[in-house]
Amino acid sequence: MSHQSASVFVKCSCGHLHWGRYGAAGLLLVDPARGVLLQRRAWWVHHGRTWALPGGAIEAGETALTAAAREAFEEASVPAEAFRTVSASVVDHGDWSYTTVLALAEGAEARVANTESAEVRWVDPEDVPGYPLHRDFAAAWPDLAARVGRELVLVVDGANVVGSRPDGWWRDRHGAAERLRDQLAKLAEAGVPDPDDATVTWWPRIVLVVEGKAKHVTGVPGVEVVAADTDGDSKIVEVVAKQPGARILVATADRELRGRVEALGASTLGPGTLRGQLDGL
């Protein structure tokens, strides 16, 4: 059975015309040295001559992340391996939605790659409001600007989280820590909801701090493992202090530790909340 074409205009409940039967997505690519990547739309496309993000309609069967990456390559020649996705936010009109995928550039170069783009340019975030922006991008920019260049770092108190569930961890602490690490790797790939904003999802950098009999556990893609030689709490505080500019979330039930990391600007969540997210994967 063939899918209906995604390349149509949809009138949303607000009365506006939007492109994409299945919604649309765009990539907000951030480079700390160069700024954000903007695209000036060709004169003949919808909202032509305005500045916005590389993006377009989501195809049938695509995820928003896949669509944003595909459009960035098709319109600005940015390959998926040249950036790391850190978050996404959704503007939902009920019968149509737009997903903005925020990513950190890792050596990405950009150039006009098809006729829908008139120009691509790296722009200082502070200068973005001075450009003639696409209507919807202009409305979204204030919220997006607050997350430009930010990432979520999830620091996990391994001993505390492992010990929160009586599954025999005391007989094999190394194996229990490895099981937690592997679940965290799945979480890094799936993403986590923002605790304060249901429209935002983060793909965190995860740091698992281990100690004692678990200190020889090694990292895997998506999860960095840091071993504490003696005091696990002090190692967690040290890890938190080394994440300037990031949004930091520490998973622990230790009241004293929570106070120490919150004093450094981190937020905390309990092991039960984290376990609930892991069990849902």
- The pLDDT value recorded for residue 23 is 81
- The pLDDT value recorded for residue 170 is 81
- The pLDDT value recorded for residue 2 is 40
Tokens of 252: 């622990």
H or E element that contains 272: helix 271-279
Q: What is the crossing angle of helices 173-190 and 271-279, to 10°?
A: 70
- The pLDDT value recorded for residue 53 is 96
Q: What share of the chain is helix, strand, coil (3-state, %, to 5)?
A: 30, 30, 35
- The candidate with the shortest Cα–Cα distance to 141, out of 155, 153, 152, 130, is 130
- The candidate with the shortest Cα–Cα distance to 273, out of 186, 153, 193, 179, is 193
- The pLDDT value recorded for residue 60 is 85
> Do 216 and 175 contact (CB within 8 A), yes or no?
no
- The pLDDT value recorded for residue 264 is 96
Mean per-residue pLDDT pooled into runs of 10, the chain (281 residues): 51 58 88 95 85 90 93 94 95 82 92 92 97 94 94 97 87 94 97 89 97 95 95 96 92 97 96 94 89
Residue ranges in 114-243 assigned as alpha helix (H): 135-145, 158-162, 173-190, 232-241
H or E element that contains 100: strand 97-105
> Do 163 and 257 contact (CB within 8 A), yes or no?
no
